[in-house]
Structure 1
């Protein structure tokens, strides 16, 4: 399952006992310019990595950097798929590893870990000198939004290694052969869709069983109209946030897409792999997805398909964000447990993992954009990854992301369900807005749900 699909979270109790002893006692060294985090040179280090689509070789390479600097330190590296099942008992027992890549379908629920104070504050890591970029801190080397993505109640608790960008994908040679230009405005999109349909191709398809895929361009369009104020109002559960003109306008646009017959018939029943296969077979010209699409389609996409990603078109001329803005967020989430035996070593390992040399090697092997600025400089990139890098460059500081999906799973489901109904012509844009607002109000009033603000 891809990074864009809502994944079940392991939310059972992970609260440790009342043991006040310091498991890190005796495992710190003297801080210096060469050792900014105070690593004890011979302290063992335990690293647990989610071994998913990216494997774990990239993480082992960071371990090699660590042992080169601290040859007396023994590293216990474990690559696992079921992080939650393996580590929940250890968090309960206050015996967690020193570094955890908390990713995958059975990852530990970060909100629960945060509430039970099981995660270390990473401020000193972010403010430490970057491993291989003189004059910069680790914080300085990260792409826009990465620190915020791992911040809870103004404290940075996780650090995400990969950078996902959402947009609309098409085959560059197909568009070139037909003389089509990818649209920048929604009016241009509707005109192009009519042309594509006349050529005997469905203009759009989407991963119908997972309507969050088509939520992304809808919400991206809304943000381009309403700006960061709209995004924050949604995430902060403000009254009537979902009734903002930007959101209703975006819903109307996607209702129009469906109403004009511009979505491949039967898309509602397709899984993400089925919809993406239909697209790569030329049955549809455009598909919404995150930047993992190219690697997920390896072995399926025909030769010379040359998929590229474009930003979502703007619907209005008075924009909150420019048309080049993109929805982007970091993922592959790393943390240092609060009860780790070697937290200084855990943070030092992350300082090396988030180095430019480490990120560059990852970009080459994984075909995915790391969360580190300049990681792809000088590399020959595939068409998809190159277009993602170009989109991030063009967006500059105008990247945005909604956080309600991470913070409030029931609201995310309500949005998904309503959008599925909208693009299958069973409800109107106003009904879509009313349904979601009702769900948001219910969560806002529920005192048992911890609230976050931005």
Structure 2
């Protein structure tokens, strides 16, 4: 494990802020032009104000404007926070370009307090952690919950939240949503056409062939401009074939982890889908375009997560009836059973350690984790939060119900991976390689070879901090 890098991630953050791609944003936020903000001295702490929030110190919040939008922040979380701190001015912002807009702020020493660091353009969490930019949120876990002073925050959360949010031994990233990944379809379309949800890969390919021959729509698509949507089912299939250790080895940069046979088999399986069953033009489309094509009944199936239903609410026909199914069994010899799912805490909220008011930032997260806030959030954006029982008594939409049922059926058979947030360079390489795999630009053998080479480069680079699980 590399603990004394020759090139600090601080340097990488500064370089990114000064790069031309950031344009004027970088130019106006470099350390030479803007002095770092001074953190607020905390007020006296109490059970109702465990972090010592100053009553009139401003709080700046940035929300990733993606599948969940940002109305949940303005309409649910912020009003709740203001019930206790009416004099705190909340400066609300949203963007789809988290890195472009906010990385220069970190490099300039004036980051905002709360950030939903999510989406395809999220900042490198490993770099932020290594640079000391992330507030230690352990006191949040040990604080009284917003609803009940006798119950700690950690006791109302899915246990995976603490595991996923820990960097360098410190809990510093709050995953707010229980992301559930799978293959999404219209239950109405399947029902009307007599198409059954496939449970084996042979059944999946046969279904694709049936849909293709029907001429009614294309069998399959994915966000061609964002191939991470496709490497997710590929890696889930690899874990089903070879067991959870396939993903653990990839996370831990083990020798030969990417070139392992289960990964190659999964790459071969999805390359066949790319060659035979993709909707025409897929490679040039983004996630919204492919998802909208599905809403228009131009394509039957696509991979996504449990944010999909809310993201498409404005274009989905009233009777569309979203459904989700798990990756089918590859063979009868799979090490993990049918129904195995990739699920993990997502929508990653952080508090900037070097912001002017981190105390208020932590208190804002505590408010978010109240049962009412989490429940209202779940109902508004049609998904499930990480707060235990937050969805009780709520009306679930078809997609949310389908995903929740799939998660219940999976039980302990869930998998995840963390290399995407630990090693941004590996993610970038996987995105590019997966796009080429699906378009026929690389063979499955070259695909795993390419990713293994990048993983080896990262493993041997002493400037990059290494993480294990």
Name the TM-score, length of structure 1 as normaliser.
0.85
The correspondence of residues 8-407 of structure 1 with structure 2, limited to 5 A, is 11-12=16-17, 23-25=39-41, 27-32=42-47, 34-35=48-49, 37-40=50-53, 42=55, 44-50=57-63, 52-53=65-66, 54-59=69-74, 61-70=76-85, 73-81=87-95, 91=106, 96-103=111-118, 108-132=123-147, 136-143=151-158, 145-200=160-215, 201-259=217-275, 261-407=276-422
Kindly provide the CA deviation profile for residues 363-395 of structure 1, in whole angstroms up to 9, marking residues without a partner as x: 222233323233222222222222222223333
How big is the shift at 1:171?
1.0
How big is the shift at 1:442?
2.0
Residue 199 to residue 99, structure 1, CA distance change in 2 (3 Å): closer
How big is the shift at 1:172?
0.4
How big is the shift at 1:212?
2.0
| Contact 1:209–1:272 under 8 Å retained in 2 | yes
Alpha-carbon separation, structure 2, partners of 1:258 and 1:88: 35
SS in 2 for 1:161: strand
| Contact 1:206–1:275 under 8 Å retained in 2 | yes
Question: Aligned residue for 2:8?
Answer: none
How big is the shift at 1:191?
2.7
Alpha-carbon separation, structure 1, partners of 2:111 and 2:384: 29
| Contact 2:293–2:299 under 8 Å retained in 1 | yes
| Contact 2:136–2:170 under 8 Å retained in 1 | yes
Kindly provide the CA deviation profile for residues 51-98 of structure 1, in whole angstroms up to 9, marking residues without a partner as x: 624224535643433343355x53333324366676556645655544
| Contact 2:224–2:283 under 8 Å retained in 1 | yes
Instruction: Identify unmatched segments of 5+ residues in structure 1.
Output: 1-8
| Contact 1:99–1:335 under 8 Å retained in 2 | yes
Kindly provide the CA deviation profile for residues 334-378 of structure 1, in whole angstroms up to 9, marking residues without a partner as x: 222323454443322211111110011112222333232332222
Alpha-carbon separation, structure 2, partners of 1:88 and 1:434: 32
SS in 2 for 1:243: coil
Counting matched residue pairs gives 440
Name the TM-score, length of structure 2 as normaliser.
0.82
| Contact 1:128–1:137 under 8 Å retained in 2 | yes
Residue 379 to residue 446, structure 1, CA distance change in 2 (3 Å): same
Kindly provide the CA deviation profile for residues 191-213 of structure 1, in whole angstroms up to 9, marking residues without a partner as x: 32233333234322222233222
Instruction: Identify unmatched segments of 5+ residues in structure 2.
Output: 1-12, 19-28
| Contact 2:345–2:386 under 8 Å retained in 1 | yes
**RMSD (CA atoms):** 3.2
Residue 176 to residue 155, structure 1, CA distance change in 2 (3 Å): same
Alpha-carbon separation, structure 2, partners of 1:107 and 1:258: 27
